[in-house]
Amino acid sequence: MKERVETLIRWQREHLRGSRFMLVLAFIVGVLTALAGLLLKAFIHQVEHMLTNHFSITDANWPYLVYPVVGIFLTGLFVRYIVRDDIGHGITKILYAIARKKSRIKGHNTWTSIVASGITIGFGGSVGAEAPIVLTGSAIGSNLGQFFHLDSRKMMLLVGCGAAGAVSGIFKAPIAGLVFTLEVLMIDFTLGSLLPLLVSCVTAAAVTFAISGTDNLFEFHLVNAFAIERVPAYILLGIFCGFISLYFTRVMNWLEDQFRRLGSPLQRFLIAAPILSVLIFLFPSLYGEGYSMIRLLLNGQGPAEWNQVMEGSFFYGAPQLLLVYLAGIIIFKVFATTATNSGGGCGGTFAPSLFLGCVSGFLFASLWNLLSTLNLPLFEDLSVFNAVPENNFSLLGMAGLMSGVMHAPLTGIFLIAELTGGYGLFLPLMIVATCAYLTIIIFEPHSIYTMRLARKGQLVTHNKDQAILTLMSMDSVIERYEEHLHPSDDLSEIVRQISSSSRDIFPVVDDAGKLLAVLVLDRVRHVMFRTELYHKLFVRDLMSQCAGRLNVGDPMDVVVKTFDQTKAWTLPVVDEEGIFIGFIRRSHVFAMYRSMLQDMSEE
């Protein structure tokens, strides 16, 4: 087997090289990610249909209290005893792999997320399948690159192809797949890199169309076209979506921190599972991805159809409580999503963003229309304060929430347009998505995917200087020393180490290996040939204090900043306990920076 693999790689290097080979790999990635997405969707649909097809419409369904618990319990067992690795926060893992692991993603991620998220969502977990399938696609691209021993730049491109193909295939939205990779993964591709991304997107979408049909994921029939007098309502909807996004992001991060402090997975399960099951029992629309509710709000023709979203709940039969029901969903969706993932489930925030956006848009339009019927003196002379179509605003809200939660207005615009065929509302989509993004960016500079990495300095951005520093590894520029000096060593020991080394700086440590000072060759040069001083001068007489020191976990932007502040040419690196690790030279850092800059700039 090994010989066949080596023969294949040798043939590839001889006959299929450069850009042509990358196009072939992008095509393969597109096909595989589309098939993975179709498999996951079919798995989720079959499990959900098997469990819920007999549920009552008019009465509360008690199995809602059990199914979600079983789902995250089974997923937790699968992850803990079979996967034995963290597969949550899929997009964050991709960003981390790009920034810190040279775009290398473990092989099991090509299938484990499909199984885990399929069980979680099929049994009612209130999360989405899109982030797991994006991780799956990126893992397929990464492992193909590893198989053919590609360099880090091409590996990054294949990871992007996998993510783009996954979004394109699962949503049937090739343009959104391309924009997502450029905007959310924040990879600064060159113009020559766009063709493989396009190949992957088009291939994934074509395979999905061929197998599942060309219908949009959400059917939408535009009745009320764009009207200029509704622009104020669009702007206010965008701001409203921005604040809902802020609420969703802040509460999710706070809840995750609280669950993380519990430590034990069993403790997290025992607290999160009941929260999830009770919320789904009270609000059955929180079950799974919630796409059926999105279709109702987008295509419902009046209260009689919109009220169907309350089927199977205590609210059924009370149409006057529809807005209360929707407000409850907006408030508690983040609790259900976080409880799903923190309790042991696996899923992403793509679908929750779409779901919450649709509900938010519908609620905003309903409240707007309610105010317009009250004939308040404040609004009676304002012609813009007229009724607005709830269906259209449900669609626009989806773009607003995606823009706010993901900090990706272009992705929100193109994804919603492609998902629904709502191109007639392209300008309103732009207004809402932009206003939502501008609102949340005031309070949160990073998206729900990137904020944790940004705090650790592990986030690749479109700023090329910052991106290169993030991609650089401190370990690759550390110069490690096998021999150390101690304060009590005499001049003869200093000369011995100097004579056997080409270095000009030496660490001075104590018996535990903690860095005390440094000894520079210039301090020894004038006495090193005076043999009569070999046993009279000691390291403590010649050593110097460090201009500064670096911690082994410091990101490279901190390293560069420390060099600038200290004006030093060489700085020592220590661990958390002060143990000496090695030296970093300014010349090595900037040589690597220059090399990576040239690598990223190649077409």
pLDDT tier at 371, thresholds 50, 70, 90: confident
Q: What is the pLDDT of residue 2?
A: 66
Going by their DSSP bridges, the two strands 550-551 and 570-574 should be labelled as parallel
- Same domain (yes/no): 282, 323: yes
List the end-to-end C-alpha distance of the chain, in Å, as a whole number: 35
pLDDT at 602 over 60: no
Q: What is the pLDDT of residue 8?
A: 66
Spatial distance between the Cα atoms of 241 and 252, rounded to a whole number of angstroms: 16
- Same domain (yes/no): 287, 427: yes
Q: Would you say 152 and 103 are in contact if contact means Cβ atoms under 8 Å apart?
A: yes
Q: What is the pLDDT of residue 35?
A: 96
- Same domain (yes/no): 445, 470: no
Is pTM, for the whole model, over 0.75? yes
Q: What is the pLDDT of residue 603?
A: 45
Q: In 510-590, at which residue ranges do the beta strands (DSSP E only) sit?
A: 515-520, 550-551, 570-574, 580-585
Q: Which of 27-41, 90-104, 383-397, 524-538 has the lowest mean pLDDT?
A: 90-104
pLDDT at 461 over 70: no
Q: Give the total number of structural domains in the chain.
A: 3
pLDDT at 78 over 70: yes
Q: Would you say 492 and 527 are in contact if contact means Cβ atoms under 8 Å apart?
A: no
- Same domain (yes/no): 140, 81: yes
pLDDT, tens digit, for every residue of 306-362?
Answer: 888 898 888 888 888 999 999 999 999 999 999 999 999 999 888 999 999 999 999
pLDDT, tens digit, for every residue of 491-521?
Answer: 888 888 888 888 888 899 888 889 889 888 8
User: Averaged over 407-412, what is the pLDDT?
Assistant: 91
Domain closes at, from 427, 462, 497: 462
Q: What is the mean pLDDT of the chain?
A: 86
- Same domain (yes/no): 458, 472: no
Q: What is the pLDDT of residue 219?
A: 80
User: Domain holding 566: CATH number?
Assistant: 3.10.580.10
Q: Which domain holds residue 143?
A: 2-212
pLDDT at 462 over 60: no
Asked whether residue 84 is domain-assigned, the answer is yes
SS3 519: strand
Half-sphere exposure at residue 25, Cβ-oriented, CA atoms within 13 angstroms: 31
pLDDT at 77 over 60: yes
Q: In 151-279, at which residue ranges do the beta strands (DSSP E only) sit?
A: none
| Residues in the chain, total | 603
**Which of 215-229, 398-412, 413-427, 531-545: highest mean pLDDT?**
398-412
Higher pLDDT, 29 or 464: 29
pLDDT at 383 over 60: no
Q: What is the pLDDT of residue 258?
A: 92
